[in-house]
Amino acid sequence: MRLKFLALIVLIFTIAQNYFAQEKGTIRGFVYDSKTKYPLINANVWLEGTNRGDVTDFKGYFEIKNLSAGTYTVAISYIGYNRAKKVVSVGPGEVKTLEIYLEELPYFSVEEIVVFGKPGEVYNQAEIGGREVAKALPRDLGEFVKQFSNALAIKKGGYALDPVVRGLKFDQLNVQIDNGVKIEPACPNRMDPPTSHVQAEDLEKIEILKGPYALRYGPNLGGVLNFVLAKPRRFDKFSIAGRFETGYESNWDGKVGQVVLSGGQRLFDFILSGGVKDYKNYKDGSGAEVKAGFKVRNWSGKVGFNPGDNHRLQFSVRQVYARDVLFPALPMDERKDDSKVISVDYGSKNLSDLINSINLKAYYSKVHHIMDNEFKPTRMMVEAVTDVNTLTRGARAEVGLIMGKSVIYFGFDYSRVEKDGFRTRKMLTGAMAGKTFIDTVWQNSYVSNLGAFSELRTGIYDFNLIFSARYDVNYSNARTPAPSFARMFSAISSKHHNLSVSAGIDKTLGSNVRLSVLLGSSKRSPNISERYINFLPIGLDNYDYIGNPSIKPETNNSLDLILNSKMLGGVIKGDFFYYYVKNFISAKVRPDLSPKNMGVIGVKQFTNIESARFWGFELSYASTFSGDFGFRFDVFRTKAWNALTGEPLPEIPPLEAKTSFRYSLFGGNMIPELTVRAVARKSDVSTSYGETQTPGFVLVNFAMSINYFRFADISLGVNNLLNKTYYEHLTRKIRATGAPIYEPGRSFFVNIAIKFGEPDEK
């Protein structure tokens, strides 16, 4: 009897299950580019009026299950494309399959380089939206670069952090603004890296391409960082919109203000903005004051003309004024740093079945930098002031052709960097008291680079392939070298011919797994510091540095293995990389030379070491199973060493893991987010550069985004929630004492953006 009863229960359950399963329907399908017919990856698909949706996989596939019988409006969106909608009726147990073709927007951006989901996009690429940057109220964009996996920053004060990607830094990275604009630091100590000339409030987004593979965008040894500034809005008829933004950070007594005005119509558009920042010294977790205050003012403008749907002409100008920037890790502080950037862009796309795009750019940037030692211990012995200038001019032209299912890009780029300036030293004590010395810093030097590039993207038997190459002619000279410097070398000028190549293959294994393999061999010629710096302490260690005009270019022979998979309710990405860098640029002690600066322990000269090796990994998981709850986890590591001696290279970040949790409340109007960052102890250090081991730490941050009001966005939170006393391995130490510079303790922040005139955009 019991067995019969149990069999009856199972039968009833089976019938009920089949009945209810038949009651539920499914909408599935594929999303493609209407022109190339390639699948669009990570397109958003949702049912209007519900919280149901999906994101397309590597084949452009989506699926929305367990739908009650009825009629639904399926909406599809993808960056750079017109939205599409389809009305679908689903019966009980019915499965509807759709094919959706999206058309590219006729309007386009001249600032961006990263396009997700396009055929052949096998580069290791990522982006972070500018509003996400601004909500965290970063003091400096170098700080926010840390949001990317295996990307950190060298810190010498509270401002002007220098990005580091996989242990490569400075000119080993191709850092640009708006897809091609370069701005060169004037300061020998890089108090003014490119990131210091872009403010978070002006940012549209940050794009990153890791590794030396994306050769279209300029000489590239270790990666491309593109800072996309806010673009003009597009309107059907003349309209005006704007935003006023203000923020405060407690630990620094830091104040931020920004005004943005945009407007126009289909024929023309514009955006104007201006802002100020005023930050005082901060206190670390134990309450000790760190002298790292700064003041910044900036303004910018873009004006665009759209003579047709397929053409755009744009003029851009930007100026940044930094004052009284304190650098506890450097022998001087920044009194003044003024920069100006002017650029002109022309772009066109979809001109014919053959010509896909034409992009032209010309730009000019200038930096005037003054630093002194007024608040440094050496001020008792010498009064030192350095006044330097940098001028950069450049151009870029590119044509894109569509030939069947292949896309070919080719073009050229050119840049010329000129640097000059002097340091004045007035001796106050000793036998030389009363005497004044004037030293040439940059020796009126310049570096010019002319490059031709080509890139092919194609598909063969379900493989996406990408091939890239460039050839650069790099020339440098010092027009007025110091006599003592000139006597050290048989030739001051130098010329390099650099060939760089890369290849990538991308294969989708099923609908949920994608494998990418990247290979590259890319060259970088040395910069002006490495060639012509003249007795200044500009390195990590306490030495005077001199340049070397005969130094050779670095060559990065690289491999990346990348695996993407949709599983466990999210997206998992793993990347293993290996770099074999020939003629790696380092420095060696010159015991035969005497230093010129007080307190330094000797002289080093830039030179090549035979080879250096890098390896590392990046592993991440991002949840997609819920539109309300979000979870992300990242862990990464880089190791690098001199292949000849085995000594670790300096300024390589330690093992790190980051986890963030967010939850959407009240229909997305309030989103709290908790972030935990764990950094391991750094024990493999470069003793020849004076590095010491760095203890590990765990950092907790909390932020809340409030979008309840249509006219305002509010973000608030607390950094270093547990008031941890810690310092980063990439934060340089106080040069005179070797003491670490601790990071800020607990700091509350709030940022409010008031918006007006928000009509619907085209």
Residue found by looking up tokens 């000028």 in the block: 493
Residue found by looking up tokens 């092919």 in the block: 456
The token duo for 572 is: 């998992």
pLDDT (average), residues 176-198: 93
Residue 321 DSSP label: E
Q: Is 76 helix (H, G, I), strand (E, B) or coil?
A: strand
Angle at alpha carbon of residue 208, lines to 204 and 214, rounded to 5°: 125
- Provide the CATH number for the domain formed by 2-102 in this structure: 2.60.40.1120
pLDDT band at 17 (very low <50, low <70, confident <90, very high): very low
The token duo for 523 is: 């060259």
CA separation for the pair 454, 497 (Å, rounded): 17
CA separation for the pair 655, 660 (Å, rounded): 17
pLDDT (average), residues 538-543: 89
- Provide the percentage of residues in the chain whose pLDDT is more than 90: 62
Q: Which residue has the higher pLDDT, 573 or 110?
A: 573
442 touches 419 (CB < 8 A): yes
Domain with CATH 2.60.40.1120 in the chain: 2-102
CA separation for the pair 609, 664 (Å, rounded): 52
pLDDT digits (tens, 9 = 90+) for 49-64: 776 777 787 778 888 8
122 touches 456 (CB < 8 A): no
What residues form DSSP beta bridges with 457?
Answer: 407, 466
Q: Which of 37, 33, 41, 36 shows the shortest CA–CA distance to 103? A: 33
675 touches 708 (CB < 8 A): no
pLDDT (average), residues 736-761: 84
681 touches 654 (CB < 8 A): yes
CA 610, chain centre distance (Å): 30
Average pLDDT, the chain: 89
pLDDT digits (tens, 9 = 90+) for 76-131: 888 767 888 889 989 888 888 999 998 876 556 788 886 555 554 567 888 887 66
Q: What is the C-alpha R_g of the chain? A: 28
Q: What superfamily does domain 124-756 belong to in CATH?
A: TonB-dependent receptor, beta-barrel domain (2.40.170.20)
pLDDT (average), residues 371-386: 92
pLDDT digits (tens, 9 = 90+) for 609-634: 999 999 999 999 988 767 678 899 99
State residue 107's pLDDT score. 58
CA separation for the pair 186, 173 (Å, rounded): 17
> Model's pTM, two decimal places?
0.88
Q: Which residue has the higher pLDDT, 108 or 506?
A: 506
Instruction: Judge residue 354's burial from the number of C-beta atoms within 10 Å of its C-beta, 0-12 exposed, 13-18 middle, 19 or more buried.
Output: exposed
Domain with CATH 2.40.170.20 in the chain: 124-756
Q: Are strands 25-33 and 95-102 parallel, antiparallel or unpaired?
A: parallel
- Specify the range with the lowest mean pLDDT, choosing from 90-99, 136-145, 492-501, 719-728: 136-145
